[in-house]
Chains A and B, each alone.
Chain A
Amino acid sequence: MGGFILRLIVGIVLALVIGPILVVIIASFSSAEALSFPPPGLSFRWFIEFFRIEEMRNAFVLSIVLAVAAACGSAIIGLLGAVYVSRHRNAFSTLLQVLIMAPLVFPALILGLALLLLYKTVNMGVLPGLFIAHIVVCLPYSFRSILTSLQSFDTTLEEAGQSLGAGPVRSFRLITLPIIWPGVLSGWLFAFVVSFGELNTALFLTGPGVVTLPIEIFSYLQFQGNQLVVAAASSLQVLVILFVLVAAERLVGAKQLVQR
């Protein structure tokens, strides 16, 4: 009896969490003019329509490029931060860790507003401004992944390298980096995924001609109404994420991805 209720709740939660995403994917393959359930037939027409609309296409490309760049940036900076934090136990190391992790819980919309006001004051360009915002937002994810793998790394290996005459940078590059590589890679992938879906910070930081896919979807929903091309755009968002996750699972394993 208790087991049945437990399983029922698990079923309800899975349906509530996954259901809306499935509905979007099904709707995007509809052959109908407008949203209707069940769809009268299946087609790719809305995906073709998506790539025909210039703003949608541009937003998609920008989101991919931005996600790759932001993931690289936050992986490098996250690696530097993680190296320091994993090897020093002092007040500064705690402060650095708190600072790097803060954007994870800090209300993103407020960070977006604060950055917008700063950018307006110093005349920052839209694209570099968006790029930096994405790095800050993605940093906690790449940092945490890399820190976890550094903490389980046996530093005596590096000491061995140094006693054999390699400098600290050289021994890090030749010994530590190859060993913690799965952590760095999963940190990169996390950052990519977070940047690709980033919404609340980007809301204020996009500009004319510089719009990311989630923001394009949002403004379409707000101003053009509920069209199925939005479903196709959303579907593409999900498909890219699924592709990255499957690749990640192949490259570093599922365990590396869910460990926190």
Chain B
Amino acid sequence: MRTTLSPKSLAWAVALPPLVILCLFFVVPLGYLLFISFMSNSATSLYDLQPTLANYTDIFSDSFYWLIIQRTLLSTATVLVLCLLLGYPVAFYAAHLSPRGRLIMLMIMMVPLMVSNVVRAYGWVAILGRSGVLSSTLKGAGLIARPVQYLYSFEAVTLGLLTILLPFMVISLTNSLATIDKRYTEAAHSLGAGPWRTFLRVTLPLSSPGVASGLMLVTFLALSAYVSIALLGGPRYKLLVSMVFDSVSTFRWPRAAALSFVLLLIALIIAVVIQVVIRPQRVQGKG
């Protein structure tokens, strides 16, 4: 038996399953979450059907939440700056390798990305913890008298997030640097620009789309990396995403929902700042 379908209905049949799945399980739940964030807390059910702004005003009028927000901004900014400072040289190095060498380098960066973040955070727990690699090595060398706990601090969280997210930055930058036409840098050289001047005036601006997309990806992932933050920051060093989790574990759903949208708002603001500062649209669409 052969059924004949018109091209138009066939196109619909193809587009419909992904559209339905994403509407039902991405758009609708987020809309519902936004709705709940404007409802009152309830002791017995998910929420009380009484519209209120209290979930948001409570967050912004509480000095504790301001501290957490400041802390989140500080650690995200530190991660972004270090990601760029460490990731760019690696990408620059990779982009100037042979195609085969670059492929190997990208594979080395990809493998850690595939490993679950809980495993990678656990690696840092095993290094920085009281009986970890760092403490035992320093003790063995006689530099510290008794085991030291290096976890549960700004440094531990920042280091963990940095190393977990660096490969994203390197891959994004490498792909962007590798597509820059060699003739641009050759032209700069032949016109008398030294290597640094060529880099600052030609290579760096041309790689700005890769810089911007890498930084944005790192921002979004750093802000929501709850498990890494919980393992490395412990109960003492919490970020905004930890507050979302804590509200959920105390069943304050509207509060958790409102905190989620504050987090999204912060992510959006950082993304806009990145776009304004880096201005990737300068070169987008050109080779």
Contact = CB atoms under 8 A, between A and B. Distances in A.
Interface of A: 2, 5-7, 9-10, 12-14, 16-24, 27, 34-37, 76-78, 80-81, 83-84, 87-88, 92, 96, 99-100, 102-103, 105-111, 113-118, 120-121, 132-133, 135-136, 139, 143, 167-169, 193-194, 196-200, 203-204, 213-215, 217-218, 221-222, 226, 230-231, 234, 237-238, 241-242, 244-245, 254-255, 257-258, 260
A35 B131 contact: yes
A83 B15 CA distance: 8
Contacts of A169: 5, 10
Given A36-B136, A193-B114, A258-B106, A234 B127 contact: no
Given A81-B18, A197-B115, A214-B116, A109 B123 contact: no
A43 to B, nearest CB: 17
A110 B107 contact: no
B114 A36 contact: no
Contact of B119 (A105, A167, A234, A244): A234
Interface of B: 2, 4-5, 7, 10-11, 14-15, 17-19, 21-23, 25-30, 32-33, 36, 46, 86-87, 89-90, 92-93, 103, 106-112, 114-120, 122-127, 129, 131-133, 136-137, 159, 162-163, 166-167, 170-171, 175, 195, 216-217, 220-221, 223-227, 230-231, 241, 244-245, 248, 253, 256-257, 260, 263-264, 267
A20 B30 contact: no
Given A19-B123, A35-B126, A245-B110, 11 more contacts: A13-B166, A13-B170, A18-B112, A20-B120, A20-B124, A77-B21, A197-B119, A214-B116, A217-B118, A226-B129, A241-B114
A77 B28 CA distance: 19
Most A C-beta atoms less than 10 A away, residue of B32, B119, B126: B119
Given A81-B18, A99-B27, A100-B22, A218 B103 contact: no
A113 B133 contact: no
Contact of A111 (B2, B26, B223, B256): B26
B164 to A, nearest CB: 8
B115 A23 contact: no
Contacts of B120: 20-21
Given A23-B127, A258-B107, A110 B117 contact: no
